[in-house]
Amino acid sequence: GAVVSQHPSWVICKSGTSVKIECRSLDFQATTMFWYRQFPKQSLMLMATSNEGSKATYEQGVEKDKFLINHASLTLSTLTVTSAHPEDSSFYICSARGASQIPNQYFGPGTRLLVL
């Protein structure tokens, strides 16, 4: 149980284009989903927290107009990197939390974004 998928797993795009990443909880309803970014040899950096039907809450320093998050249902959240630039190249990972009082987060497999 507690499987989270992400799509795509890899994306290469040209500078200036927008990229959408999907995160799905496959066998549970995710009350909250989280989006992280991880640069090589560094730890996870939380970008934003999203709850179904609500606006996402962004961490300090994360541009909400650049990283658009939509949490349309209890099983799907999307992250759109708008007008991507080479410095946005990173490993983007989503996680999902169910309704348990223990805040376990289950991670998706991640999406590697390379902006040329």
Complex with other proteins: residue 18 or 42, whichever CB lies closer:
42
SS3 (DSSP) at 99: coil
Restricting to residues 48-77, which ones interact with other proteins according to CB under 8 A? 49, 51, 57
Restricting to residues 80-99, which ones interact with other proteins according to CB under 8 A? 93, 97
Measured distance CA(71)–CA(99) in Å, rounded: 16
- State the distance between the two ends of the chain, measured CA to CA, in whole angstroms: 37
**15 in contact with other proteins (CB under 8 A):** no
**108 in contact with other proteins (CB under 8 A):** yes
**18 in contact with other proteins (CB under 8 A):** no
Among 50, 35, 37, 20, smallest CA distance to 88 is for 37
Q: Which among 15-23, 69-77, 80-88, 100-108 is the span making contact with other proteins, rule CB under 8 A?
A: 100-108
Q: What is the DSSP code string of 15-78? A: TT--EEEEEEESSS--SEEEEEEE-TTS--EEEEEEETTS--EEPTT--TTTEEEEEEETTEEE
Query: From residue 24 to residue 43, what is the string marking binding to other proteins with x (rule CB under 8 A)?
Result: --------x-x-------xx
Binding site for other proteins (CB under 8 A): 32, 34, 42-44, 46, 49, 51, 57, 93, 97, 102-110
